[in-house]
């Protein structure tokens, strides 16, 4: 027994997992079929010939190019240019470990993402079961699998890993396995800054159970709540040692047009008309951001407690402080209450079916527009 | 409560140390030469003017360089004696081979940054070796850059000497942006 008191919450295989697995299969078949169509069409837009040389090449485009560099060479910082230090290390850590099997990045990257999505969906279903009834939890998990921006779950992107770590951290916390919650929250923090989604719910859970936990375990619970931000902060500390600049991450983000500042949301709003004219793809991010916000309200009305809503809101609002709405659709994927809001809004079979159909169509459209719009 | 805080602080220390160790063990550190080069590139961003004493094929020449922007285009203008050599974007305009060499050795901040950061970005082609210069400053050698270049960095990490393979060498001094 360590000071962190690592305890595995007992999970029994449930019938509901079959529904989750089916949703995973359907959503991945849709996504991968759309990628196959894209491949059959040949080089288009920003995606040049090099991505068509290997069968799975298209699954490692956009950010995947940078993650591959990190896996191959480690971090290299070039001031004033786009650099791989802009990409958090959690996902390349996992992929690098898996490449030890002898498989290349173009296979391991997408494979890890797809498998981790299944883990994430099961964990999310279990988490939802602890707050709502099973039918509700099943619907929420299906929507999570079919999320319009969820095509990145099949690419060499860290989204699946982040989703899995976030859901597992929350699940472990609900089961009072605080050591495990700290481990998953910390790994989520190493994977993406959106890991802050877990801070408020975990802190609330820890505080509400402080009497029952006793001083030592309450300390573990507090550590679990703060583990994600601490892990996030350890990345700049590593960069200071590795590339000689603790601000390398934020400096590199500038090359992508992101710069964190207090008036960031106002700036994002002011730049919006120009940004939409220059990159029409931002319209998708804008619409998804609006949809996420509406669904957070729906989740609150369905009885989701405010710490979960606050966590989801943080995920949506914090990136806006970088002065752009770019990629909000993808960042919002881990705003878990969004799926509860959607499940609550589609209780009737007809509404549920229509929502699943629209989500699936948008998922496919997201893949087919990849040569022109980065996720 | 105090006991809880101590446990939390201890656990968070473990999280931070483990995260750092995991990253350091997996991805290591950028090579020393590349790190110094990155610092030099960043420092060069503070300057827009350079003066250089150039030694190309035994001919000593003095050059002054000014970087500026025209609309969105980067311009670097090198004054060599009574003539100007101008780079617009990344293209030299109407320059003889000798003028091209002198332009490279003039050490204009922005073109030199571009040259060096391309070296770091395409690190499969560049080996930046950090050596200790007799003066105590650092010497960086990029044998696989195109063309190969050596620079001596001052203690404040700004280039003070350039040597371009098969072209010549120069001593440079940078002036801050106006």
Cα Rg, chain B, nearest whole Å? 21
Concatenating the DSSP letter of every residue in A129-162 gives HTTS-HHHHHHHHHHHHT-GGGGGGGSSSSHHHH
Question: Which residues of chain A does B114 touch, with a Cβ-Cβ cutoff of 8 Å?
Answer: none
Cβ of B30 within 8 Å of Cβ of A186? The answer is: no
Cβ of B39 within 8 Å of Cβ of A244? The answer is: yes
Position B122 pLDDT exceeds 70: no
Question: Which residues of chain B does A97 touch, with a Cβ-Cβ cutoff of 8 Å?
Answer: 26
Reported pTM: 0.87
- Chain Cα centroid distance, residue A238: 22
DSSP single-letter state for residue A43:
S
**3-class state of residue A167 by DSSP:** helix
Q: Sort A159 into a burial class: Cβ within 10 Å, 0-12 / 13-18 / 19+.
A: buried
| % of chain A at pLDDT higher than 70 | 97
Closest Cα in chain B to A222: B8
Report the pLDDT value the prediction gives residue B156, as an integer from 0 to 100.
80
Cβ of B8 within 8 Å of Cβ of A219? The answer is: yes
What gap in Å lies between CA A161 and CA A163, rounded to an integer? 5
- Mean pLDDT, to the nearest integer, of A314-318? 95
Q: Bigger pLDDT: A117 or A50?
A: A117
Summarised one tens digit per residue, pLDDT across range B62-71 is 999 999 988 7
Q: Looking at CA atoms only, how far is residue A74 from chain B in angstroms?
A: 5
**3-class state of residue B79 by DSSP:** strand
Closest CA to A107 of A161, A62, A68: A68
Task: Judge contact between A216 and A237, C-beta under 8 A.
Answer: no
Task: Judge contact between B19 and A239, C-beta under 8 A.
Answer: no
Summarised one tens digit per residue, pLDDT across range A245-280 is 899 999 999 888 888 889 999 999 999 999 888 888
Summarised one tens digit per residue, pLDDT across range B26-38 is 999 988 888 888 8
Task: Judge contact between A64 and A155, C-beta under 8 A.
Answer: yes
Question: Which residues of chain B does A227 touch, with a Cβ-Cβ cutoff of 8 Å?
Answer: 11-12, 15
What gap in Å lies between CA A150 and CA A199, rounded to an integer? 23
Mutation to test the B interface, candidates A2, A82, A234, most B Cβ within 10 Å: A234
Closest CA to A330 of A193, A182, A230: A193
Cα angle A10-A11-A13, degrees, rounded to a multiple of 5: 145
- Mean pLDDT, to the nearest integer, of B57-61? 87
Summarised one tens digit per residue, pLDDT across range B85-114 is 999 988 888 888 888 889 999 999 999 988
Cβ of B26 within 8 Å of Cβ of A89? The answer is: yes
Summarised one tens digit per residue, pLDDT across range A228-237 is 999 999 999 9
Structure confidence at residue A38 as a pLDDT band (50, 70, 90) = very high
Report the pLDDT value the prediction gives residue A4, as an integer from 0 to 100.
46
Summarised one tens digit per residue, pLDDT across range A114-172 is 999 999 999 999 999 999 999 999 999 999 999 999 999 999 999 999 999 999 999 99
Position B127 pLDDT exceeds 70: no
Question: Which residues of chain A does B138 touch, with a Cβ-Cβ cutoff of 8 Å?
Answer: none
Position B146 pLDDT exceeds 90: no
Position A1 pLDDT exceeds 50: no
Report the pLDDT value the prediction gives residue A374, as an integer from 0 to 100.
76
- Mean pLDDT, to the nearest integer, of B150-162? 86
Cβ of B4 within 8 Å of Cβ of A92? The answer is: no
Reported ipTM: the value is: 0.90
Q: What is the mean pLDDT of chain A?
A: 92
Closest Cα in chain B to A219: B4
Cα Rg, chain A, nearest whole Å? 20
- Mean pLDDT, to the nearest integer, of A182-192? 98
DSSP single-letter state for residue B73:
E
């Amino acid at each position: 027994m360590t000071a962190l008191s690592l305890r595995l919450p007992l999970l029994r295989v449930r019938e509901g997992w079959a529904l989750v697995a089916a949703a995973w299969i359907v959503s991945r078949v849709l996504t991968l079929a759309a990628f196959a169509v894209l491949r059959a069409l040949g080089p288009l837009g920003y995606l040049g010939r090099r991505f068509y040389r290997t069968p799975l090449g298209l699954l490692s485009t956009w950010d995947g190019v940078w993650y591959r560099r990190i896996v191959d060479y480690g971090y290299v910082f070039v001031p004033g240019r786009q650099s791989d230090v802009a990409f958090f290390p959690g996902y390349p850590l996992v992929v690098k470990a898996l490449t030890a099997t002898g498989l290349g990045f173009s296979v391991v990257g997408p494979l890890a993402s797809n498998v981790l999505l299944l883990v994430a969906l099961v964990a999310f279903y279990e988490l939802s079961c602890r707050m709502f009834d099973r039918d509700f939890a099943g619907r929420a998990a299906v929507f999570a699998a079919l999320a319009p921006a969820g095509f990145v779950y099949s690419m060499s992107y860290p989204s699946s890993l982040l989703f899995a770590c976030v859901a597992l951290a929350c699940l472990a916390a609900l089961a009072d396995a605080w050591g495990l919650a700290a481990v998953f929250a910390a790994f989520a923090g190493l994977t993406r800054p959106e890991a802050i989604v877990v801070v408020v719910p975990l802190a609330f859970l820890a505080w509400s159970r402080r009497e029952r936990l006793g001083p030592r375990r309450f300390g573990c619970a507090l550590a679990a709540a703060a583990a994600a931000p601490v892990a996030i902060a350890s990345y700049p500390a590593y960069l200071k040692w590795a590339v000689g600049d603790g601000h390398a991450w934020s400096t590199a983000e500038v090359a992508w047009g992101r710069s964190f500042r207090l008036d960031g949301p106002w700036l994002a709003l002011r730049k919006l008309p120009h940004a939409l004219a220059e990159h029409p793809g931002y319209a998708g991010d804008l619409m998804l951001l609006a949809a996420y916000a509406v669904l957070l309200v729906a989740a609150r009305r369905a009885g989701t407690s405010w710490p979960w809503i606050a966590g989801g809101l943080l995920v949506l609002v914090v990136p806006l402080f970088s002065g752009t709405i770019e990629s909000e659709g993808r960042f919002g994927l881990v705003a878990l209450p969004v799926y509860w809001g959607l499940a609550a809004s589609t209780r009737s079979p007809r509404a549920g079916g229509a929502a699943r159909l629209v989500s699936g169509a948008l998922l496919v459209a997201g893949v087919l527009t990849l040569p022109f719009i980065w996720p | 409560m105090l006991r809880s805080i101590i446990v939390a602080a201890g656990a968070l220390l473990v999280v931070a140390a483990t995260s750092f160790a995991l990253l350091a063990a997996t991805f290591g550190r950028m090579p020393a030469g590349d790190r110094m080069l990155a610092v030099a590139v960043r420092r060069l961003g503070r300057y827009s003017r350079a003066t250089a004493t150039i030694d190309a094929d035994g001919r000593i020449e003095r050059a002054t360089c000014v970087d500026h922007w025209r609309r969105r285009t980067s311009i670097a203008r090198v004054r060599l004696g009574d003539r100007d050599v101008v780079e617009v974007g990344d293209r030299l305009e109407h320059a003889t081979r000798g003028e091209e060499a002198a332009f490279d050795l003039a050490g204009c901040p922005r073109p030199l940054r571009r040259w060096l950061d391309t070296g770091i970005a395409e690190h499969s082609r560049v080996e930046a070796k950090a050596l200790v210069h007799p003066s105590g400053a650092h010497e960086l050698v990029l044998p696989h850059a195109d063309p190969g270049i050596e620079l001596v960095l001052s203690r404040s990490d700004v280039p003070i000497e350039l040597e371009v393979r098969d072209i010549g060498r120069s001593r440079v001094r940078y002036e801050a942006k106006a």
